[in-house]
Structure 1
């Protein structure tokens, strides 16, 4: 059975690798952290960032949506999802995300 904070070293290693541009390695650590703590929206969002930067837009959309399922009141999750949806040409969905981000945090842009 996983300990309450056992996921944290994996998340932190993922963060460190991501800042070094080592996205593939970072994703592996984020995925392990998610296995240990699947209800952490911030790790889901970080995984979405890595997937987006690697060109896996559908994977990024899924990760951002999962982050929003877990924490729907965080403006940046809506913003991130909106960015990827814009890249996919899904403008109506993206606009809804941006509107929600602005509702939650008017100074986000």
Structure 2
């Protein structure tokens, strides 16, 4: 009968824990710092909020422009509105007028 006697090495019992630590460290690092990690998710959320605010501003501006176009284009053309916009765009006023500039056009 043949028997093999192996000398127990201290290195052998640390292989599986070392691989486990390396595996968990790799995926743990990338779950925080990776392209889809926690830090990147926070940055995406900040960008989403900034763009939502920009969208709200642009939507309000578009609605204001649509109201102006509606005042000028439906069957009852408001001559005051047309005159006001033309004077503002051409930067023209009469001598007896007081000009107050509003930046809503």
Q: TM-score, normalised by structure 2?
A: 0.28
Q: Which structure's residues are more often helix, by fraction?
A: 1
Q: TM-score, normalised by structure 1?
A: 0.28
For CA contacts below 8 A with separation 6 or more, give which structure has more relative contact order.
1
Larger Rg: 2
